[in-house]
Amino acid sequence: MKILLAEDDAEVAKFIIAGFEESGHSVDHVTDGRDALSYCMYNDCEVAVLDRMMPGMDGLNVLKALRAAGQNMPVLMLTALGDVDNRVEGLQAGADDYLAKPFHFSELMARVLALTRRRTDHVTQTELEVHDLTLDLLARTARRQHQLIELQTKEFALLEILMRNAGRIVTRTMLLEKVWNFNFDPNTSVVETHISRLRSKVDKPFDVPLIHTIRNTGYSMHGPR
């Protein structure tokens, strides 16, 4: 699952990001309300977790702007303002859930998962398919020709991005940004290493290769043409 976290408190953000990533989910993090609004308008994510108090634009106004623009992604509001009136205000503005600080990560994770299950009207895909390969985003499983493929967290994230962009070129830079959050030297071979491992599981045991290298650019995933 891909999650946007809009939180300007560095320690709180670090705690939340670690929890989501340990659970196998991809997190994009912004610290400013305006950046959160821009991200949600132009990027796909399954759930947005918005802090109520942020610089630039507070979470409540971000939420109102998203709903006014017709953005229907599930939104969970985080806030230190835990009284009933503030919760009601957030829910009336279009929040799908509200969680007061401090909180246990297990509760946040449970609420986020509940939002993805409840919002059946949301266009989020829960299963991706390319040729005879399927990826279940909720169960976190991959199968090819009905055979279960065991994937590590980064391998799953790589495969999800490639399958979401099936038929299109995904650059090495894009993969570094989405999977490793720019925390690596641009000259690193980490992408190539993980793609090689992914191929050994997704392609080599089968007759038809799905992951294709685009020379000097990146990778593309597609079936036979």
Q: Which residues of 207-221 are buried (b: 16+ CB within 10 A; e: fewer)?
A: eeebbeeeeeebbbb
pLDDT at residue 122 is higher than 70: no
Instruction: Tell me what the pLDDT averaged over the chain comes to.
Output: 86
Whole-number pLDDT of residue 193: 94
- pLDDT tens digits along 139-197: 889 999 999 999 999 999 999 999 988 888 888 888 887 787 765 566 778 899 999 99
Q: What token pair was written down for 45?
A: 């994510």
Q: Domains in the chain, please, with CATH?
A: 2-118 (3.40.50.2300), 127-221 (1.10.10.10)
Whole-number pLDDT of residue 114: 87
Whole-number pLDDT of residue 93: 82
Whole-number pLDDT of residue 83: 66
- pLDDT tens digits along 5-22: 999 999 999 999 999 988
Whole-number pLDDT of residue 45: 79
Point out the least confidently predicted range of 41-45, 120-124, 178-182, 187-191: 120-124
CA distances from 38 to 29, 51, 109 (A): 12, 15, 24
| Confidence band of 89 (pLDDT split at 50, 70, 90) | confident
Check if the beta carbon of residue 210 is closer than 8 Å to that of residue 224. Answer: no
> How do strand 169-171 and strand 218-221 relate by DSSP bridges?
antiparallel
Give the global pTM: 0.56
- pLDDT tens digits along 134-155: 999 888 899 999 999 999 999 9
